[in-house]
A and B are shown apart, each in its own frame.
Chain A
């Protein structure tokens, strides 16, 4: 077909393998240019990638830069004709590795500064008419914020990837850990974040 000449079709795996690969593209978008495709992926996946990086490594501005870099790396990879089977896991892995290389220190990461935290609590107050509910919710979130802040870097990685819907083997793929380590880590995380654990 002559129009094939105009295409710059991205090599992808089979539909079953390519979870996250073309799932974000609308029908008829298979003839998008490579730039357009990467831009679409960027628009769909940049926020979860960024949130993961901030939640795990802190430093929102650097996380934003790293997220962009991961998508530029995606462009380079696809331009070279390489196949990406699981786009979502691939992007998280690249972003994760970039972050690990740049953010060397495993510093304490406070989720949201105190000012943002106070704003959040106020917004909860508005949303809950019942004072008791408000108090309980505030206590719960205060507790979780403190508990998550005490997690190790590895634990934060596994937790936040799991909340993004990654299966254990995918978390292992992103982080470079074994599946067993992921399972053990997640088990530890659940233990640390239970209501009873205030230590």
Chain B
């Protein structure tokens, strides 16, 4: 380079070469040469203009770099995976022990202190103390049991429940529980035995209670006398529990349902979960999931809930609820004492007087099944024929359609059940009077039908009924809750650059996934609501309505799922193509539609689980999630494709 300059600069009377001017501008020539060029520029207008042009070009390049390139040449995967790769690399070279990590932290702590200025004995004492702290910390750490996240626990428990039910043909879930209102004496109406029968095939429900007043069948609190004329009114505490469960997205007919617990959790904005291990009264190991909303809750809403699950088989055993009411906190405990899944044929007619297949076509010629777990002989309940006509399947279809039109067929807001007498009961507790009026208006065409019982109440109405029934305030216990983190937290934080946006995105994804799943549940319910025979006996018009409902929910699901996928794409699958899923062949018949719904339900539920595991908080700070896996992306596409197939069904 030196030669290059000398050649040009030694040429007296000549101008410096343009290359030399660039070197001059860039400060890449010696100070002696720079002085020569500078002297020349002062004298030479031509070279001053040339130099200015070089500087203008440089200015343009820098402006282009700063305004155009720097903001846009972004890493498509947002540096995902580096920490893991570095961690793996560090582990290859010999994993750092827990002790060394503690020493590392200790070293950082001490780095702020000038040890040379500290008296030597003090340093020794501090070091001894530090070692003691480490020893205690390690002991605590090793003694601490590893427990699952809230979502995992609920999912495993839900799966275990489903597996148990699926092993029996025409399963009826029979549960016995003790219900207590805590903080009060465990006598009288504050504690009673509760027995439940759920006919999962025929969608029928029966319950009895045993307390100081004896054992008897009782109506669900939301039902009127005519729905189950032989049943007594429920005791006040059961009515309270039912109202609390309904107002919190839970299910009074499946009070310990992990799915219902999850529905409540998902309805919360900010919350904290804690999963701990413990022992039940009989010595069995249990996991306790405790969830506390961290935002203020309204009247009737849960301030805290806990679900106790048996570690051995994930069976839910107990539900604890805390509800603010009238300036105090009411506590309820629902403890399961027995659980069995029996075949419908083993359940006596006093529980379910008619077979479900007979409901649509009227009362059955009395084929009496085998013996049943009946209520106490001291309180015999004689089955009576319904005083009203049984509802037809067409009528049931019409009610479902009307509810769907009002948007009341999603989730557990409003239920449509058969009473033991074959009537159709539409029951639910809704948020506001406006919503109640809306649903009643929608049900207008069937309001006067004697086979339909409508029991829609607002939360305030349900609670007002319970006032003055001896509810005693209980003392709230102090609860310490660990702060949670979500599995995809680091991905979201690094993508969005801040916790607030990451949390908002996660909440949006969970809400969207839950909305999608609510359509799935409705689809599944609709597809299993009628037997194949019933569907074939349905009038073409009613069958058309049924299909139309299926299509509309499949469509709604697909829109939610597509929206979800599009939002997830830039964060987790930036290189995935923008296009959506291809729909498969149109189902040829009703069987094909039902099969497609089964597949969609399985696939969509699995996708929802991935979303929940990634975006819901867990006290254990889980980091493993399938949300980044290409298989999950494919699964999202597959679910959309299945939904599109159902949409095309004729």
Contacts and interface: CB of A to CB of B under 8 A. Distances in A.
Interface string B54-70: 10111011111101111
A168 B108 contact: no
A71 interface: yes
Interface string A30-49: 11111100110010001100
Contacts of A87: none
A187 B21 CA distance: 9
Interface in B104-138: 104, 106-108, 110-112, 115-116, 127
A187 B60 contact: no
Given A140-B60, A187-B22, A195-B53, 20 more contacts: A1-B115, A2-B127, A3-B110, A3-B115, A6-B104, A7-B107, A28-B112, A33-B104, A34-B90, A42-B79, A42-B82, A61-B77, A68-B85, A112-B68, A140-B64, A162-B26, A183-B23, A187-B18, A187-B19, A195-B57
| Binding site secondary structure of chain A | helix
B585 interface: no
A75 interface: yes
Interface of B: 1, 4, 18-19, 22-23, 26, 28, 53-54, 56-58, 60-65, 67-70, 72-77, 79, 81-83, 85-87, 89-90, 93, 96, 103-104, 106-108, 110-112, 115-116, 127, 574-575
A153 interface: no
Interface of A: 1-3, 6-7, 28, 30-35, 38-39, 42, 46-47, 50-51, 54-55, 60-61, 63-64, 67-68, 71-72, 75-76, 79, 111-112, 116, 120, 124, 140-141, 144-145, 148, 159, 162-163, 167-168, 179-180, 183-184, 186-187, 190-191, 193-195
Contact of B28 (A7, A120, A168): A168
A163 B62 contact: yes
Nearest to A119: B72
Contacts of B1: 179-180, 183
A143 B30 CA distance: 34
A155 to B, nearest CB: 12
Contacts of B96: 33
Contact of B86 (A3, A75, A194): A75
Of B1, B18, B54, B63, the most chain A CB neighbours within 10 A belong to B1
Contacts of A163: 61-62, 65
Contacts of B79: 42, 46, 64, 68
A64 B65 contact: no
A75 B90 contact: yes
Contacts of A64: 75-77, 79
Contacts of B116: 1
Contacts of A28: 111-112
A76 B92 CA distance: 11
B57 A79 contact: no
B72 to A, nearest CB: 6
Nearest to B574: A61
B89 A183 contact: no
B18 A141 contact: no
Contacts of A183: 1, 4, 19, 22-23, 28
